[in-house]
Structure 1
Amino acid sequence: MPHVEQHRGHIIAREKLPDDYPTNAHSAQFWEELGRTVAVFGFLEEMLGKAIFALTGMKEFDPDADPDALSEWIKTLEKTLTDQLGGLLFAYKKALAENDKTKGQDYEGLIDNLMNAKDIRNVLCHGSWGKPDDQGKTLPKFVNRKLAVFETLVDIDFLRATRKAVVGLACDVLDTVTSLGFQFPGSESPGQVIWPKQMNPPQGGE
């Protein structure tokens, strides 16, 4: 048998790692801006869930003619509690399409913008952050399921602009409910209340 050279194994000297490794290369301000931006996406998810509740709750149904309608609605609401942004966008688009009060209105641009926001959210939440250049810009390492590589440099200005855009999208989502004359769930906005407080909340099956 040929001689195989044996190499010694090694382990990481953890005590020599810099403080806050591997986030030490960026400023605390960068990480604050990133954290705030990620949090805004969480807010958008909450608003989508409430909009789905509102848009699907507006529909009237006859419990005698359609006894399964209430249980199906409850299942839809339960799913919004666990869905992330991609699933919520699918349900939101479906709720807009199936609501009689939204028919004839064009939401394609809004849906496209929400989908683009979802792609940015995936980068910010799941990308790996390397060292910044001398201008504080970083190219996060991220490849989506279609094997597309993210190629946009990210800095504090990018994060602030993204955050502002996502807040705008959240307001657009609210508008799709309030513009129909309904109160947005959980708010004190004017409009017809979809589920009065004195009524018991819908309950799921056992």
Structure 2
Amino acid sequence: MTMPRANNRLPTDFAAALGHAVSGFGFLEEALKRAIFSLSLEGLGKKPDDRALAAFLQRMEEIGDDTMGTLIDQFLAQAGRARIADRKELAADLRRIRHSRNLLCHASWKVSPRKDYWHPSFLNTRGEVYPDDLSVPDLDAIHDLTLATAARIIEIMRATGIEGEWLGASGAVE
């Protein structure tokens, strides 16, 4: 069996938009981790016992290696105790982003017959093939949704009053 010839390089504008979308997923993951931390710490109450504190610290250590899907599930479970006006919409956006992240990070990109489009060759765990071609505006829309959702999660985290330094940041994140 022969391997197909590798694709040519992605066009610069498409590759840049893809890179920005992927970097947005990383920022969202950090926001989710920080929100889980804040919501979990808030849930401990004023005087947690040693067992509760040990379980909290163990879980916080573990979330560093969690996948985006697990982080989303953990955040939504923690956020169930918080008052979130648009919880269903936020959960739906997070599910869309999870799907987009898996697609963009794991696809093999094929040339599309449509000008300025590329096809993500991707088979998910349920055996489904992604049917659509994507363009720079499609990638920009995914990036915009990801950053807007991260901002909503940061607002929820900040509402707990628990915030620290952002990883690698020299100042506060606005």
Same amino acid, percent of matched pairs: 25
Which consecutive unaligned segments of at least 5 residues does structure 1 have? 1-9, 13-20, 191-206
Specify which structure has the bigger relative contact order, considering alpha-carbon pairs within 8 angstroms and separated by 6 or more residues.
2
In 1, the alpha carbon distance for the partners of 2:61 and 2:123 equals 31
Structure 1 residue 148: deviation in Å?
2.2
In 2, the alpha carbon distance for the partners of 1:103 and 1:148 equals 36
- 1:183–1:189 contact (8 Å) kept in structure 2: no
- 2:110–2:118 contact (8 Å) kept in structure 1: yes
Q: 1:186 aligns with which of 140, 146, 165?
A: 165
Alignment of 1:1-206 (within 5 A): 22-59=6-43, 60=45, 62-63=47-48, 66-97=49-80, 99=81, 102-103=82-83, 105-178=85-158, 180=159, 182-186=161-165, 188=172
TM-score by length of 2: 0.84
More helix by share: 2
- 1:149-173 per-position Cα deviation (integer Å, ceiling 9, x unaligned): 2112111111111111110010011
Structure 1 residue 62: deviation in Å?
3.4
Aligned alpha-carbon RMSD (Å):
2.6
User: Aligned partner of 1:116: which letter?
Assistant: R
In 2, the alpha carbon distance for the partners of 1:106 and 1:134 equals 37
User: Aligned partner of 1:186: which letter?
Assistant: E
In 2, the alpha carbon distance for the partners of 1:103 and 1:157 equals 34
- 1:133-188 per-position Cα deviation (integer Å, ceiling 9, x unaligned): 3411122111211222211211111111111111001001111122x352543264
- 2:34–2:157 contact (8 Å) kept in structure 1: no
Which consecutive unaligned segments of at least 5 residues does structure 2 have? 167-171
In 2, the alpha carbon distance for the partners of 1:107 and 1:186 equals 26
User: Aligned partner of 1:67: which letter?
Assistant: D
- 1:40–1:166 contact (8 Å) kept in structure 2: yes
In 2, the alpha carbon distance for the partners of 1:117 and 1:103 equals 22
- 1:55–1:177 contact (8 Å) kept in structure 2: yes
Instruction: Sort the Cα spacing of 1:58 and 1:135 in 2 relative to 1 into closer, same or farther, 3 A.
Output: same
More strand by share: 2
In 2, the alpha carbon distance for the partners of 1:173 and 1:141 equals 31
Q: 2:169 aligns to what? A: none
In 1, the alpha carbon distance for the partners of 2:40 and 2:77 equals 9
User: Aligned partner of 1:48: which letter?
Assistant: L
- 1:61–1:69 contact (8 Å) kept in structure 2: no
Q: Work out the number of aligned pairs and report it.
A: 168
- Secondary structure of 1:129's partner? strand
